[in-house]
Structure 1
Amino acid sequence: METITKRVIYLYGASGHGKVVAEIAENLGFETIIFLDDDASLDKIWDYPVLHEIPKSIPHLCLTLGNNYTRKKLAQKFSHETFGTLISPSSNISKRIKIGAGTVVMSGVSINADVQIGRHCILNTNASVDHDCELEDFVHVSPNASLAGNVSVGEGAHIGIGASIIQGVTIGKWAMIGAGAVILSDVPDFAVVVGNPGKIIKYQKNPETTIES
């Protein structure tokens, strides 16, 4: 687990999510925070500048966008840059976990022993991930969502706010679990699941193969 220790960080995404990550960076002692964003109408977030052109040299970069597939595309675009891991000081995490580069752990998050978390994931406010879970790259666990032990979450899956997943369940890649859903059995790739108990209501298109206009 690599934690950023430098004093300068660039945050790609001048949004509400970016603001939360910026405060984590402040709490970790960063003195210079610079936002990057394509929106030309933005020039500042608080006292921090928003740049619209990518500098030639970026010491450390964090992708502060909530959309999982957008983060993946940007991670591929900036694959030559250095990504670190931002972990809120007010989180509670085991020393026996592995976290990939670019992942952000928000305030109040609990992560227990032998959890493996991939690259560019979001563990959002007050989420709980119990022992021996495995989260692949670009997963987003929303605020107050709870994963019991031995849960596996595939690449790009989104666990909605307040959702609960019982032990041993597998969530497929790019699946979406609705807010407050209770998941009692495995969820296939690309499925959208809502309710208590969770039921599949539809399947999403594979973002890897969708042709963008």
Structure 2
Amino acid sequence: MYLYGASGHGKVVAEIAEESGYHIDAYIDENVSKKKMLGYSVFHEPPQENIDIVIAIGNNRIRKNIVEQSALFNYVTLLHPKSSVSKRVQIDEGTVVMAGVTINAAVTVGKHCIINTNSSIDHDCVLEDFVHISPNAALGGSVYVGEGTHVGIGANIIQGIKIGKWCTIGAGTVIISDIPDGSTVVGNPGRIIKITEL
């Protein structure tokens, strides 16, 4: 297995892979100044097609760009052994679930998502592709999160909320009403401070 992205996030993903019993061959990173990380070599381009890979980059748009440009990789899903994931959860390829995460029954998680440390996702939530749920964020039941949205550290989203695509939910924000596509939201209760046209 190869990890695409030799940065801080890549260190965490490497340890999840190790604890899950995967053999890591190397990192891949376009920064030619990077030679080694955690004792693993850093390559500056993929060694071949059809390799097993996890994109270990926190930026949602960069992950999506890599996927769109690299259709011939086999994307691996990683679940930290100290996460609590219901057997009735559907998690798609390339997603990484970190330590301390709880995902309850009937949740659907899309491709290349990051479910970060100690976050909580309750029953019947849907996360589209390239979503990042940051550490200690909490989603109530039946929350829908659109593609590419980043839910910040410690944010709280009450049950039944729909959040649009490519939104940014600020750290500590409390979401009590639906959020349209492209919104940046901060505060308690959350208020939209910017909408970017998609």
TM-score > 0.5, shorter chain as reference: yes
Structure 1 equivalent of residue 110 of structure 2:
118
When normalised by structure 1's length, the TM-score is: 0.91
- Measured against aligned partners, the alpha-carbon deviations of 1:33-84 in whole angstroms (never above 9, x if no partner) come to 4100011111000210000122124531111111101100101111221111
- For 2:20 and 2:51, locate their aligned partners in 1 and report how far apart those are by CA, in whole Å: 16
SS in structure 2 opposite 1:35? strand
Structure 1 equivalent of residue 133 of structure 2:
141
- For 2:68 and 2:195, locate their aligned partners in 1 and report how far apart those are by CA, in whole Å: 25
Spell out the pairing of 1:29-178 with structure 2 (5 A cutoff): 29-178=21-170
Structure 2: which amino acid aligns with 1:96? R
SS in structure 1 opposite 2:68? helix
Give unpaired runs (5+ residues) of structure 2.
none
Structure 2: which amino acid aligns with 1:200? I
Is the Cα contact below 8 Å between 2:84 and 2:100 reproduced in 1? yes
- For 2:49 and 2:61, locate their aligned partners in 1 and report how far apart those are by CA, in whole Å: 25
Structure 1 equivalent of residue 183 of structure 2:
191
What displacement does 1:168 show?
0.1
> What is the root-mean-square deviation in Å for CA atoms of aligned residues?
0.9
Q: Against the structure 1 CA distance between its residues 180 and 197, is the aligned structure 2 distance closer, same or farther, given a 3 Å change threshold?
A: same
Is the Cα contact below 8 Å between 2:50 and 2:72 reproduced in 1? no
SS in structure 1 opposite 2:87? coil
- For 1:100 and 1:60, locate their aligned partners in 2 and report how far apart those are by CA, in whole Å: 15
How many residues are aligned here?
Answer: 198
Is the Cα contact below 8 Å between 1:10 and 1:58 reproduced in 2? no
- For 1:62 and 1:27, locate their aligned partners in 2 and report how far apart those are by CA, in whole Å: 15
- For 1:116 and 1:178, locate their aligned partners in 2 and report how far apart those are by CA, in whole Å: 23
Identity, % of aligned pairs? 56
SS in structure 2 opposite 1:32? coil
What displacement does 1:31 show?
2.9
What displacement does 1:117 show?
0.3
SS in structure 2 opposite 1:187? coil
Q: Do residues 182 (structure 1) and 174 (structure 2) align?
A: yes
- For 1:54 and 1:112, locate their aligned partners in 2 and report how far apart those are by CA, in whole Å: 36
SS in structure 2 opposite 1:20? helix
- For 2:24 and 2:152, locate their aligned partners in 1 and report how far apart those are by CA, in whole Å: 32
